[in-house]
Amino acid sequence: MTTLFTSYQLGGLTLPNRVVMAPMTRVRAAAGGLATPSMAAYYAQRATAGLIVSEGVQPSVIGQSNPGTPGLHTDEQVAAWRPVTAAVHTNGGRIFAQIMHGGRVSHPETIGEQPVGPSAVPAVGHVFTPTGPQPAPMPRALDIAEVPEHARSYARAASRAVDAGFDGVELHGANGYLISQFLSSNANLRTDRYGGPVVNRIRFAVEAVAATVEAVGADRTGIRLSPGGTFWGVEESDVPELYAALLTELAQLGLAYIHIEATTDEEVLIPLRKAWPGTLVMNPVLPLGPKQTGRDDADHWLGLGADLISFGRAFIANPDLVLRLRGQLPLAPVDEATYYQGGDSGYLTYSAHAYAA
């Protein structure tokens, strides 16, 4: 019988369990987008996860969304990540880097220029900047000649990730960031080959994934998706058709996995599981919604055919989450005020269960 604690073969990696640490922005990088010793300790503490997916890592300066996030576009950044991946491996873990291009979800104060997107349509809400939250600015619509370069930026970052010791990469195709913006029917108003009908709106995602597969191999490449999600004001028309078409194209590339968020009804998600021939990582509850993923949610989706289950917030306060889930031990609460404040408080200060107060 398959359980959350059954091993799983993911490409060339043998995962000791089916618990995935989901990518979570923690804004603890040093100046220049450099990973730090604290980040090495943070991920190493959570190495009992079957797989760790890192926080979103920008593939370029213009791809940065938030201040304080790490990059993978300079030699210095690669060198800074090596102690992080080494610490995870020393503790017996496996780690993928999530490659995240923010697109329109950024600000000139953060990146030094106007953010870009598929169209000149601003995100909804306030974005983080070095001087505090500000309304999302108007992005510059990418010229058609620029679009392939941004697709290839994921592949270049993926190559650097492998050089830095990551076991693979996950492209962030969810939550209103650049790939998601191209999939959207209201953030993407283009009338060229990248906009309009479904076959065009999926093109950027497919090109980014294909370039990454060519750069580092299919068994080292995954993608995260949020079907029907409305983060940062994106909307998607014809969600079942859009994602069925996207998964059909991605299936031909032989990816390590797709990572789907529960951003729409199961009536939509279950057919996507059936349509996808490979590994499915399922994030069973709405990210940043009122509920955190628990054991029951994980078991429910394993029963629906998911192969791996990702946990987000539960991993922040519970570095030994796998042990707690296995023993049905209580989960420590997370201090939301420390999500993005920087420093080690609320980052390295959560104890394993044996030492909990």
The answer to whether 46 touches 93, Cβ cutoff 8 Å, is yes
Distance CA 145, CA 134 (A): 30
Catalytic one of 42, 43, 154, 177: 177
pLDDT for 86 equals 98
Regions of the chain where pLDDT drops below 70: 354-357
pLDDT for 286 equals 78
Distance CA 171, CA 151 (A): 11
- Tell me the three-class secondary structure of 219-234, residue by residue: HHEEEEECCCCCHHHC
First-last CA distance in the chain? 35
pLDDT for 356 equals 43
pLDDT for 292 equals 80
pLDDT for 357 equals 44
For 8-355, which CATH class?
alpha beta
C-alpha closest to that of 68 among 20, 18, 119, 27? 27
What ranges do the domains of the chain cover? 8-355
The answer to whether 299 touches 282, Cβ cutoff 8 Å, is no
pLDDT digit string, tens, across residues 183-207: 999 999 999 999 999 999 999 999 9
DSSP string, 94-143: -EEEEE---TTS--HHHHSS--EESSS-PPSSEEP-TTS-EEPPPPEEPP
The answer to whether 28 touches 38, Cβ cutoff 8 Å, is yes
pLDDT for 54 equals 98
The tokens describing 78, both together, are 């690669």
| Length of the chain in terms of residues written | 357
Residue 177: active-site member: yes
pLDDT for 273 equals 95
Pairing of strands 126-127, 134-135: antiparallel
The answer to whether 188 touches 201, Cβ cutoff 8 Å, is yes
Q: Distances in Å between the alpha carbon of 342 and those of 196, 231, 312, 348? A: 41, 24, 18, 11
SS3 of residue 330 by DSSP: coil
Distance CA 342, CA 169 (A): 25
DSSP bridge pairs for 228: none
pLDDT for 354 equals 65
pTM, two decimal places: 0.96
Distance CA 332, CA 351 (A): 9
Distance CA 90, CA 98 (A): 21
